[in-house]
Copies of this chain bind each other. A is one copy, B any other.
Amino acid sequence: MNERLAPDMFDELCPSALSPIRFGDKWAGMIIRCLEHGPRRFTELRIPLRGITAKVLTQSLRGLERDGLISRTAYNEAVQRVEYELTPLGRSLLGPMAVACAWAEKHWEELLDAREAYETPVSGFGRTG
């Protein structure tokens, strides 16, 4: 169990501003998903969160810890090791997250259309017409 996190675990434009539903800060939702199947190490988390800097990842993890959604465990070994894991409270968020994802998936086309329609108003009869 607890296989490697795939580098392409998330879509290229994730987190997308197109979804109106957010969990925590910019990266929190993705981090929670990464922890869904067991504890993960700091560096391990950086793989699917392409390009996230250590500082930003630390910030987001601290926020989740503060909210009681994840726990942090440091091991005193030869090689430094720190693991993050979902708390029961954090795990209870998976339900609402699934609902949010289902909604986004179902209405993605509508969201795209709305955005496009707003950007290109009909023949100039926009707000100023």
A33 within 8 A of B: no
Helix, strand, loop or mixed for chain A's interface?
helix
CA distance in complex: A18, B89 (Å): 13
Q: By the criterion CB–CB under 8 Å, are B95 and A99 in contact?
A: yes
- A22, A68, A92: residue with the most chain B Cβ atoms closer than 10 Å: A68
As for how many copies of this chain the complex holds, the number is 2
A83 within 8 A of B: no
Q: By the criterion CB–CB under 8 Å, are A103 and B96 in contact?
A: yes
Chain A interface residue count: which class? 20 to 34
Q: How far is the CB of A78 from chain B (nearest CB, A)?
A: 21
Q: How far is the CB of A113 from chain B (nearest CB, A)?
A: 7
Interface of A with B (CB < 8 Å)?
18, 20-24, 28, 65-69, 89, 92-93, 95-96, 99-100, 103, 107, 110-111, 113-115, 117-118
